[in-house]
Amino acid sequence: MHLLIILLQSVYTIAVTALAFYGFNALWLTWLAPRRVLTDRNKANINSQITNQLPSVTIQLPIYNERHVIERLIRACTNLDYPKEKLQIQILDDSTDQTSMIADRCAERAACKGYNIKIVRRTDRSGFKAGALEHAFPLAIGEFIAIFDADFVPPIDFLLRTVPHLQQNEQLGFLQTRWGHLNTTYSPLTRSQSLALDGHFVIEQAARQFAGYAFGFNGSAGIWRRDCIADPHVGGWQADTLCEDLDLSYRAQLVGWQPSFLPQIEVPAEIPPQLAAFKRQQFRWAKGSIQTLRKCGWRVWQSDWSFGKRVQALVHLAGYLLHPMLLLILLVSLPLTLLHINPAWPLAYLSIASIGPPFLYAVAQRRLHPQTWLQRWSYIGLLTLLGFGLSLNNTVAVIEACLGRPSSFLRTPKFHVEKSSDHWHKSSYRLPLTPLFWGEIALLLYAITTAIIAGMADRWSTLIFILLYIGGFGLMIGMELWERASEWVRRTGKAVFGWSTSQ
């Protein structure tokens, strides 16, 4: 019994300390982030200097079953303000549905307008997105390679504002721009996701850039130098992680290539409007990040980077370990309460770290939207509950990565949802419930039991914290059921609880 108590207390202490560390690190990054990062002061000068010396650029569009958005993407790329004779567009099409037909039609139309546009198809999807990029790389003729996922809409001046930065510094291996959002106001779910993404780009990425820390390519809305990808010490695109972008960017930085982040350039994209799609995206990011940690972590630690840079790189790669820590705290809280053990009081001073993430998101919104930041930040409560609710989903992803268990690259479906009148419910891309839904129900019941026992034992600090798990898992379950009901109503036109599509 004594060993069990020590074990439970140790698990609780480690988990709480890890969460506090990441909370303090959020405060540190917020402090580091430059105050003015959204002004492109050099735009006019750079453009005027290099207009007559533009290099060749290849745009790669990796797609798989994207019939709702492929036409929008191709149209945006052919609208880019860049000389046609120096631009190549590659559509890396692994699709198995009518997306291919739409892509063919769009490519033919663009070719008639004088664009060098090619569709690159493979006989199989080996390596998924990384495999498609690696397969098309020898066919790319550009000195620089821009990459856009299917749901992105690059602004017309994207290349003119980014390529000069790569021209001016031959050591720049890749350049990342800030993601914007096409459908922030679509639903509370998309508002919460936009809050998290803005915090990542406006604060975290900007702070890492400013401090000289390593950071990752985000997979889309960025440009690579061809020589960097082709560098034999880098190794090109590799498919042994689900975050091929993060993997390649770290391998490039480890051999001396420099990264660049331009937060002043915004490229809008579609936020997943379906909870299941959001959870799938998070699962892939969580598993891919930990796979990259396993693959590159030791190289990072043995590198000649400064101690601070190495620590920040490992913290960055290990970020999704927070979700197993959250889940462990929930699981040990019940036995600790039953054993009348209260390990929380020595750790109470660490609770101040919990202000780190909310403060980071508030600062990001204040810098992006000075007039409406408070209204946008008001969704922090919902985002917090989503974080707790995702703990099972992302913990499974982390465990699979730690065990070296391979899995397919499950893409996040895109529905071309931009305004409130757009709907995804009838699309064949909508995702079904997963078995983890039942695990979330079990954890909700476990959390409720823990809360009841904590209340009976007057453990009010434990009770308040457990309420976040109840809210998080309850939110997941409620949203899943609501989306299923909405889907059924929109497909059948029949009413549920007095509500129908006519209302």
Q: Are residues 15 and 113 in the same domain?
A: no
Q: Are residues 166 and 270 in the same domain?
A: yes
Q: Are residues 209 and 87 in the same domain?
A: yes
DSSP character string of 453-488: HHHHTT-HHHHHHHHHHHHHHHHHHHHHHHHHHHHH
Mean pLDDT for the stretch of residues 309-316: 98
- Is 97 part of the annotated catalytic residue set? no
Q: Are residues 326 and 390 in the same domain?
A: yes
Is 297 domain-assigned?
no
Which pTM value belongs to this model? 0.93
Assess whether pLDDT exceeds 70 at residue 42: no
The torsion angle over the Cα atoms of residues 454, 459, 460 and 466, rounded to 10 degrees, is -40
Is 43 domain-assigned?
no
Domain stop point among 224, 244, 277: 277
Q: Which residues contact 475 (CB under 8 A, 6 or more apart)?
A: 382, 385, 386, 389
User: Band of the pLDDT at 483, cuts 50, 70, 90?
Assistant: confident
Q: Are residues 180 and 139 in the same domain?
A: yes
Nearest to 220 by CA among 66, 24, 384: 66
Is 308 domain-assigned?
no
- Give the C-alpha distances (Å, rounded to integers) separating 178 from 65, 84, 221, 225, 302: 25, 25, 8, 18, 31
User: Band of the pLDDT at 458, cuts 50, 70, 90?
Assistant: confident
Domain stop point among 225, 252, 277: 277
Mean pLDDT for the stretch of residues 463-484: 94
In which residue are the tokens 């790389």 written? Answer: 137
What percentage of the chain has pLDDT greater than the value 90? 80
Catalytic site residue from 149, 198, 245, 247: 245
Assess whether pLDDT exceeds 80 at residue 496: no
170 three-state secondary structure:
coil
Is 310 domain-assigned?
no
Q: Are residues 8 and 58 in the same domain?
A: no
User: Band of the pLDDT at 350, cuts 50, 70, 90?
Assistant: confident
Q: Where in the sequence is the domain holding 375, given as residue range(s)?
A: 2-32+320-492
Name the domain count of the chain.
2
CATH assignment at residue 222: 3.90.550.10
Q: Are residues 245 and 331 in the same domain?
A: no
- Is 245 part of the annotated catalytic residue set? yes
Assess whether pLDDT exceeds 60 at residue 62: yes
Nearest to 155 by CA among 60, 75, 52: 75
List the single range of 133-147, 276-290, 479-493 with lowest mean pLDDT: 479-493
Assess whether pLDDT exceeds 80 at residue 7: yes
Assess whether pLDDT exceeds 60 at residue 43: no
Give tens-digit pLDDT for 199-235.
999 999 999 999 999 999 999 999 999 999 999 999 9
Is 499 domain-assigned?
no
Mean pLDDT for the stretch of residues 111-125: 94
User: Band of the pLDDT at 499, cuts 50, 70, 90?
Assistant: very low
Residue 249 CA to residue 234 CA, distance in Å, equals 9
Mean pLDDT for the stretch of residues 131-153: 97
Q: Helices marked H in 226-321 — which ranges?
A: 226-230, 244-254, 275-302, 307-317
Q: Residue type for 376, please?
A: R
Q: Are residues 252 and 369 in the same domain?
A: no
Assess whether pLDDT exceeds 60 at residue 503: no
- Give the C-alpha distances (Å, rounded to integers) separating 51 from 46, 57, 146, 175, 267: 8, 14, 18, 19, 22
Given this model, what pLDDT does residue 485 score? Answer: 83
Catalytic site residue from 94, 151, 198, 247: 94
Is 312 domain-assigned?
no
Q: Are residues 18 and 94 in the same domain?
A: no
Q: Are residues 351 and 443 in the same domain?
A: yes
Domain stop point among 223, 251, 277: 277
Given this model, what pLDDT does residue 343 score? Answer: 67
Is 351 domain-assigned?
yes
Is 501 domain-assigned?
no
Give tens-digit pLDDT for 356-400.
999 999 999 999 999 999 999 999 999 999 999 999 999 999 999
- Which of 299-308, 334-343, 450-459 ranks highest by mean pLDDT? 299-308
Q: Are residues 238 and 108 in the same domain?
A: yes
Residue 56 CA to residue 85 CA, distance in Å, equals 8
For all residues of the chain together, what is the average pLDDT?
Answer: 92
Residue 136 CA to residue 113 CA, distance in Å, equals 23
Assess whether pLDDT exceeds 90 at residue 348: no
Q: Are residues 251 and 391 in the same domain?
A: no
Q: Which residues contact 45 (CB under 8 A, 6 or more apart)?
A: none
Mean pLDDT for the stretch of residues 303-313: 98
